[in-house]
Amino acid sequence: MSAVLPYRGLGRRKTAVARVRLTPGTGVIMINGRPLDSYVPTERLRRDLQNPLRLTETLGRYDVQATVDGGGISGQVGALILGIARALVKAEPSAHPVLRRHGLLTRDDRMVERKKYGLHKARRGCQFSKR
């Protein structure tokens, strides 16, 4: 049985959704048709995004092509991390324990709480007035 290429992974975080394609290559990361440095503004988020590849020692072996929509940049990076990790597990099943140990295969299900009527925000009520 031959391997299926490209390896795909779906990641979600807050309201962001990332569809990731992993193909053998030189380590190029493209997000929505733009290179990583152009799309992700901060160094910390770039480092976090490369974490799954760095931990499995596959940083220069796979090209990453991703489509992300929804949410802000932080949620999008979180979705990308999960998508890359899931695709890596399909590409290299031996990477599963390492990714699991570092918590990269767990979906972060925290979402913004909805605003309730009669309140200013989700929980913030009106300011108390004594008179």
CATH number, domain at 41? 3.30.230.10
The tens digit of pLDDT for each residue in 57-72 reads 999 999 999 999 999 9
| 114 found inside a domain | no
User: Residue 112: inside a domain, yes or no?
Assistant: no
Residue ranges making up the domain that contains 81: 7-101
Work out the average pLDDT over 78-104.
96
With respect to residue 125, please indicate whether it lies within any of the assigned structural domains: no
Cα 111 versus chain centre, distance: 15
Asked whether residue 67 is domain-assigned, the answer is: yes
In a domain, 58, yes or no: yes
Residue 86 counted as domain residue: yes
pLDDT digit string (tens) for 20-40? 999 999 999 999 999 999 999
Q: Give the pLDDT score at 2.
A: 52
| Amino acid at site 18 | A
Pair of tokens at residue 107:
């979906």
129 inside domain: no
Domain contains 12: yes
**pTM as predicted:** 0.90
Q: Count how many domains the chain has.
A: 1
DSSP per-residue string spanning 30-87:
EETTEEHHHH--SHHHHHHHHHHHHHTT-TTTEEEEEEEESS-HHHHHHHHHHHHHHH
